[in-house]
Amino acid sequence: MFNIRKFLVFVLDGKRYAIPLQAVERVVAAVEVTPLPEETDIVAGVINVQGQVIPVLNIRRKFRLPERAIDLDDNIVIVAGIKGAVAFVVDAVQGVIQRREEEITPAGGLLPEMKYTEGAIKVDDDIVFVHDIDKALSCEEKRRLETVLEKVSEDLFLRTKENDGNRMEA
Protein backbone atom coordinates (compact mmCIF):
# COMPACT_ATOMS: atom_id res chain seq x y z
CA MET A 1 0.00 0.00 0.00
CA PHE A 2 1.27 3.46 -0.93
CA ASN A 3 1.53 6.37 1.48
CA ILE A 4 -0.48 9.10 -0.28
CA ARG A 5 -0.03 12.77 0.64
CA LYS A 6 -2.22 15.70 -0.35
CA PHE A 7 -1.00 19.20 -1.16
CA LEU A 8 -2.64 22.57 -1.77
CA VAL A 9 -1.11 24.12 -4.90
CA PHE A 10 -1.08 27.91 -5.15
CA VAL A 11 0.46 30.56 -7.40
CA LEU A 12 2.66 33.51 -6.45
CA ASP A 13 4.13 35.77 -9.12
CA GLY A 14 3.44 33.22 -11.85
CA LYS A 15 5.17 30.34 -10.01
CA ARG A 16 3.46 27.36 -8.42
CA TYR A 17 4.10 26.33 -4.82
CA ALA A 18 2.56 23.71 -2.55
CA ILE A 19 1.97 23.12 1.15
CA PRO A 20 0.75 19.96 2.88
CA LEU A 21 -3.05 19.99 2.89
CA GLN A 22 -3.26 18.90 6.53
CA ALA A 23 -1.77 22.29 7.52
CA VAL A 24 -4.54 24.23 5.73
CA GLU A 25 -7.49 25.38 7.82
CA ARG A 26 -9.26 27.17 4.98
CA VAL A 27 -8.95 29.38 1.93
CA VAL A 28 -10.90 32.66 1.81
CA ALA A 29 -11.40 35.38 -0.77
CA ALA A 30 -9.13 38.40 -0.50
CA VAL A 31 -10.04 40.93 2.18
CA GLU A 32 -8.37 44.09 3.32
CA VAL A 33 -5.40 43.45 5.57
CA THR A 34 -5.29 45.83 8.52
CA PRO A 35 -1.74 47.13 8.90
CA LEU A 36 -0.09 46.95 12.30
CA PRO A 37 0.95 50.07 14.23
CA GLU A 38 4.57 48.92 14.09
CA GLU A 39 5.84 47.67 10.75
CA THR A 40 7.54 44.29 10.72
CA ASP A 41 9.31 42.39 7.97
CA ILE A 42 7.29 39.25 8.39
CA VAL A 43 3.77 40.38 9.30
CA ALA A 44 1.86 42.36 6.67
CA GLY A 45 -1.02 42.98 9.07
CA VAL A 46 -4.04 41.16 10.45
CA ILE A 47 -7.43 40.02 9.18
CA ASN A 48 -10.63 39.24 11.05
CA VAL A 49 -12.14 35.89 10.11
CA GLN A 50 -15.36 35.16 11.97
CA GLY A 51 -14.20 37.11 15.02
CA GLN A 52 -10.72 35.57 15.05
CA VAL A 53 -7.82 37.97 14.49
CA ILE A 54 -5.26 36.23 12.29
CA PRO A 55 -1.81 37.59 11.40
CA VAL A 56 -1.03 37.75 7.69
CA LEU A 57 2.55 36.82 6.86
CA ASN A 58 4.37 38.62 4.07
CA ILE A 59 5.16 35.44 2.14
CA ARG A 60 6.25 37.39 -0.95
CA ARG A 61 9.08 38.96 1.02
CA LYS A 62 10.03 35.59 2.50
CA PHE A 63 10.20 34.03 -0.97
CA ARG A 64 12.05 37.10 -2.32
CA LEU A 65 9.29 37.92 -4.80
CA PRO A 66 8.21 41.40 -5.91
CA GLU A 67 5.69 42.90 -3.51
CA ARG A 68 2.35 44.20 -4.73
CA ALA A 69 -0.99 45.36 -3.38
CA ILE A 70 -3.70 42.79 -2.69
CA ASP A 71 -6.00 42.25 -5.66
CA LEU A 72 -9.69 41.33 -5.45
CA ASP A 73 -8.91 38.08 -7.31
CA ASP A 74 -6.32 36.98 -4.72
CA ASN A 75 -6.95 34.33 -2.08
CA ILE A 76 -5.89 34.13 1.53
CA VAL A 77 -4.66 30.76 2.77
CA ILE A 78 -5.11 30.21 6.50
CA VAL A 79 -2.88 27.56 8.02
CA ALA A 80 -2.65 26.06 11.48
CA GLY A 81 0.63 27.12 13.04
CA ILE A 82 2.27 25.92 16.23
CA LYS A 83 1.10 29.04 18.10
CA GLY A 84 -2.22 29.46 16.28
CA ALA A 85 -3.51 30.25 12.83
CA VAL A 86 -1.56 32.41 10.41
CA ALA A 87 -2.48 33.49 6.90
CA PHE A 88 -0.77 34.52 3.70
CA VAL A 89 -1.99 36.07 0.47
CA VAL A 90 -1.59 34.16 -2.81
CA ASP A 91 -2.39 35.17 -6.37
CA ALA A 92 -4.50 32.05 -6.94
CA VAL A 93 -5.23 28.62 -5.54
CA GLN A 94 -5.01 25.92 -8.20
CA GLY A 95 -6.40 23.09 -6.14
CA VAL A 96 -5.47 19.95 -4.27
CA ILE A 97 -3.21 17.25 -5.68
CA GLN A 98 -2.18 13.83 -4.37
CA ARG A 99 1.25 12.26 -4.61
CA ARG A 100 2.75 9.01 -3.36
CA GLU A 101 5.55 9.52 -0.85
CA GLU A 102 8.11 8.15 -3.33
CA GLU A 103 7.08 10.84 -5.86
CA ILE A 104 8.35 13.57 -3.53
CA THR A 105 11.99 14.52 -3.99
CA PRO A 106 13.42 15.48 -0.56
CA ALA A 107 14.88 18.99 -0.44
CA GLY A 108 17.93 17.98 1.66
CA GLY A 109 20.57 17.97 -1.05
CA LEU A 110 18.49 19.99 -3.47
CA LEU A 111 18.14 23.26 -1.53
CA PRO A 112 20.04 23.05 1.77
CA GLU A 113 19.81 26.84 2.37
CA MET A 114 16.00 26.79 2.18
CA LYS A 115 15.20 25.09 5.47
CA TYR A 116 11.46 25.59 4.98
CA THR A 117 11.39 23.63 1.72
CA GLU A 118 10.28 20.08 2.39
CA GLY A 119 10.82 18.80 -1.12
CA ALA A 120 9.74 19.01 -4.74
CA ILE A 121 6.94 17.37 -6.69
CA LYS A 122 6.14 17.24 -10.36
CA VAL A 123 2.87 18.89 -11.39
CA ASP A 124 2.16 18.69 -15.12
CA ASP A 125 5.49 19.81 -16.63
CA ASP A 126 6.51 21.95 -13.63
CA ILE A 127 8.63 21.25 -10.59
CA VAL A 128 6.72 22.58 -7.58
CA PHE A 129 8.44 23.16 -4.25
CA VAL A 130 6.60 21.97 -1.15
CA HIS A 131 6.99 24.35 1.79
CA ASP A 132 6.57 23.83 5.51
CA ILE A 133 5.06 27.09 6.75
CA ASP A 134 6.05 26.39 10.39
CA LYS A 135 9.69 26.16 9.32
CA ALA A 136 9.46 29.24 7.08
CA LEU A 137 10.02 31.53 10.04
CA SER A 138 13.34 31.77 11.85
CA CYS A 139 13.41 31.71 15.66
CA GLU A 140 13.81 35.50 15.66
CA GLU A 141 10.85 35.94 13.27
CA LYS A 142 8.69 33.63 15.41
CA ARG A 143 9.58 35.66 18.50
CA ARG A 144 8.68 38.93 16.72
CA LEU A 145 5.42 37.39 15.50
CA GLU A 146 4.51 36.36 19.05
CA THR A 147 5.28 39.89 20.28
CA VAL A 148 3.12 41.41 17.55
CA LEU A 149 0.25 39.00 18.32
CA GLU A 150 0.42 39.76 22.04
CA LYS A 151 0.31 43.50 21.30
CA VAL A 152 -2.59 43.17 18.85
CA SER A 153 -4.54 40.99 21.31
CA GLU A 154 -3.90 43.48 24.10
CA ASP A 155 -4.99 46.43 21.92
CA LEU A 156 -8.17 44.59 20.87
CA PHE A 157 -8.94 43.71 24.48
CA LEU A 158 -8.53 47.35 25.55
CA ARG A 159 -10.70 48.61 22.65
CA THR A 160 -13.41 46.05 23.42
CA LYS A 161 -13.35 46.99 27.09
CA GLU A 162 -13.52 50.69 26.16
CA ASN A 163 -16.46 50.07 23.79
CA ASP A 164 -18.29 48.04 26.44
CA GLY A 165 -17.84 50.94 28.89
CA ASN A 166 -19.22 53.41 26.35
CA ARG A 167 -22.30 51.23 25.78
CA MET A 168 -22.99 51.07 29.51
CA GLU A 169 -22.87 54.88 29.79
CA ALA A 170 -25.36 55.39 26.94
Question: Based on the number of CB atoms within 10 Å of its own CB, is 38 exposed (0-12), middle (13-18) or buried (19 or more)?
Answer: exposed
> Any bridge partners for residue 49, and if so which?
52
Half-sphere CA count of 128, side-chain side, radius 13 A = 26
Overall domain count for the chain: 1
pLDDT higher than 80, residue 82:
no
The radius of gyration of the chain's CA atoms, rounded to the nearest angstrom, is: 18
Measuring CA to CA, how many Å separate 39 from each of 8, 15, 100?
29, 27, 41
Please state the rounded mean pLDDT for residues 55-74: 90
Q: Which domain holds residue 9?
A: 4-169
CATH number at residue 15: 2.40.50.180
Please state the rounded mean pLDDT for residues 134-143: 73
pLDDT, tens digit (0-9, with 9 covering 90-100), for 5-64: 999 999 999 999 999 999 999 999 999 998 877 767 778 888 999 888 888 988 898 888
pLDDT, tens digit (0-9, with 9 covering 90-100), for 22-38: 999 999 999 999 887 77
More confident residue, 152 or 45: 45
3-state secondary structure of 97: strand
Q: In whole numbers, what is the pLDDT of the chain averaged over residues? A: 82
The percent of residues above 70 in pLDDT, for the chain, comes to 80
pTM metric for this prediction = 0.81
Half-sphere CA count of 104, side-chain side, radius 13 A = 23
DSSP state of 143: H
Specify the pLDDT at position 168. Answer: 46
Specify the pLDDT at position 156. Answer: 61
